[in-house]
A and B are shown apart, each in its own frame.
Chain A
């Protein structure tokens, strides 16, 4: 059952081949027997899941089932889920039981999805390897000595290991796309404002965006249908009509203009990854797409701009963790200042503390113009760069990450080495554009991902291209041996 796609599982539920309770039990059993290898889950919600599954079967029996009714899902532990521990991968929130439901999980619940549990992640989504999690590193199902990518590493590993058919993720600088690529699954970061951020624990509010993680583009489209839409509780949520993202999946690619930024195929890109990506782009050309070399000259500025803007916003957002209203409090505080500094010092891990400090520094008196304002100006240059490119091409293609998954511990000593992992994904967040990654073959035995970047609100086109690619290839069907 677990090698079926979401679309196939939905068919199986519809035809009565199996019930949601049977399906949910199957996945819960897999998590119980296999997750000790990957550590993809921080929390499993067995009782809750079985109650939801029973309810879904009831709804179906009454003839009220919709496309996703009774399908199990795993949620990144960044989404508040009422009555369920929501840790954000941090000691700071180890004791936090969310008192309300995020819009994304609420919409999933309303669509009849069944929550299997909450997935592992880098602490407060700050990381590209899942190694900053308070709950221990999550391991790549393709090689348990390697990272799954991050920050949505648990969601990517859960789908790759077939411990869940679909999962939610969030992407601030590549956190859906990079782990999806490294675990051989499909992941979509929608346009900024397409999916509500309400109840999604904030990291960098002008960059954060939630999206679907799945085996296929078709599955991602089905899940996005339930996630997207205007939410008045999120002031940055965009008032754009929600399309049926499955409607255009089968459109032909004849005449599609694909831009290939020369900066995405330059120095720093692993040769085997490059070969896989070039082969996948050839496949799109074979289907009628027209390739055109373009230039995104601001690419090298994206990582520096991001490491001002994201930490600055994080330092403001994470000021709410004060040891007073919720979350971790240190033992025996001597006075209020001691309570603040020790609760935060002990409750946050090193990477989170580093980013808060960089943000506080960039925003402090005397440095604001040189860092924050400068980074925001560069951010506009990056946006303009994409706008110019989209005058010439319909989508932009390239690798999702410069390398395949690396060894656990390999890049933890120098944070900057880790930051450069996100060179191909970060500019998309700064510009607020949508982008998808699809499995693009293997390089030295590990998965690679082809990234497709679209213009604003062009999710449907990206899913269409991903789907057509997956109709012609079978990389997305490959599963790691230990989780067959």
Chain B
């Protein structure tokens, strides 16, 4: 299965990834060859087979809905590219 530039651009947009125009050919080629590999799955007979999400078929463990951690906002925000007064700063989003 091969995908073209338009599809690469669409997937990149979905994934919020900027791909340089000069790299489009390379990405289209590589992604196509990965999809060729993946298409080998279609030959497998999986009629009536239950999908496997957790290898041990384990289900999600739940815990009581209680606060167990102290608020460490300032500590965690030390890694933020831009933060002020406890808020993350981004370019203006509302006109």
Would A236 and B79 be within 8 Å (CB), given that A307-B34, A342-B18, A378-B41 are in contact?
no
Q: Is the CB of A380 within 8 A of B49?
A: yes
Among B19, B41, B56, the residue within 8 A (CB) of A374 is B41
Q: Is the CB of B18 within 8 A of A192?
A: no
Q: Is the CB of A99 within 8 A of B44?
A: no
Instruction: State how many residues of chain B have any CB contact under 8 Å with chain A.
Output: 53
Q: Is the CB of A304 within 8 A of B40?
A: yes
Q: Is the CB of A333 within 8 A of B17?
A: no
- Which of A107-115, A130-138, A319-327 lies at the binding interface? A319-327
- Which of A13-21, A195-203, A414-422 lies at the binding interface? A414-422
Q: Which 6 A-B pairs have the closest CB atoms?
A: A432-B55, A345-B18, A376-B51, A329-B81, A377-B46, A326-B79
Identify 11 new A-B residue pairs, CB closer than 8 A, beyond the known A354-B31, A377-B44. A193-B56, A236-B54, A298-B44, A304-B38, A308-B41, A344-B15, A348-B17, A356-B17, A419-B34, A419-B37, A431-B55
A270 within 8 A of B: no
Q: Is the CB of A341 within 8 A of B54?
A: no
Q: Which of A368-405 contact B (CB under 8 A)?
A: 370-371, 373-381, 383
Among B17, B18, B41, B93, the residue within 8 A (CB) of A336 is B93
Q: Is the CB of A238 within 8 A of B56?
A: yes
Please report the C-alpha to C-alpha distance between residue A370 and residue B92 in the assembled complex, in whole angstroms.
Answer: 40
9 pairs, CB–CB < 8 Å, chain A vs chain B = A325-B80, A354-B31, A374-B46, A377-B51, A377-B52, A381-B49, A414-B33, A416-B34, A431-B55
Among B16, B76, B82, the residue within 8 A (CB) of A329 is B82
Q: Is the CB of A235 within 8 A of B60?
A: yes
Chain A residues with a Cβ under 8 A of chain B: 95-97, 99, 191-193, 206-207, 232, 235-236, 238, 298, 300-301, 303-305, 307-308, 315, 319, 322-329, 333-342, 344-346, 348, 350, 353-354, 356-362, 364, 370-371, 373-381, 383, 414-416, 419, 429-433, 456
Q: Is the CB of A345 within 8 A of B17?
A: yes
* Contact partners of B82 in chain A: CB under 8 A: 329
A195 to chain B minimum Cβ distance, whole angstroms, is 14
B23 to chain A minimum Cβ distance, whole angstroms, is 8
Q: Is the CB of B49 within 8 A of A325?
A: no
Among B8, B11, B18, the residue within 8 A (CB) of A344 is B18
* Contact partners of B16 in chain A: CB under 8 A: 319, 322, 337, 340-341, 344
* Contact partners of A416 in chain B: CB under 8 A: 33-34, 36-37
* Contact partners of B54 in chain A: CB under 8 A: 192, 206, 236, 432
Chain B residues with a Cβ under 8 A of chain A: 3, 8, 11-20, 23, 27, 30-31, 33-42, 44, 46, 49-56, 58, 60-61, 63, 72, 75-76, 78-82, 88, 90-93
* Contact partners of A364 in chain B: CB under 8 A: 11, 14
For A334, give the chain B residue with the smallest CB separation.
Answer: B91
* Contact partners of B35 in chain A: CB under 8 A: 358, 361
Q: Is the CB of A357 within 8 A of B17?
A: yes
For A323, give the chain B residue with the smallest CB separation.
Answer: B81
Q: Is the CB of A324 within 8 A of B40?
A: no
Q: Is the CB of A232 within 8 A of B63?
A: yes
Would A99 and B75 be within 8 Å (CB), given that A236-B54, A356-B15 are in contact?
yes
Please report the C-alpha to C-alpha distance between residue A193 and residue B54 in the assembled complex, in whole angstroms.
Answer: 10
Among A342, A345, A376, the residue within 8 A (CB) of B53 is A376
Please report the C-alpha to C-alpha distance between residue A193 and residue B19 in the assembled complex, in whole angstroms.
Answer: 36
A235 to chain B minimum Cβ distance, whole angstroms, is 5
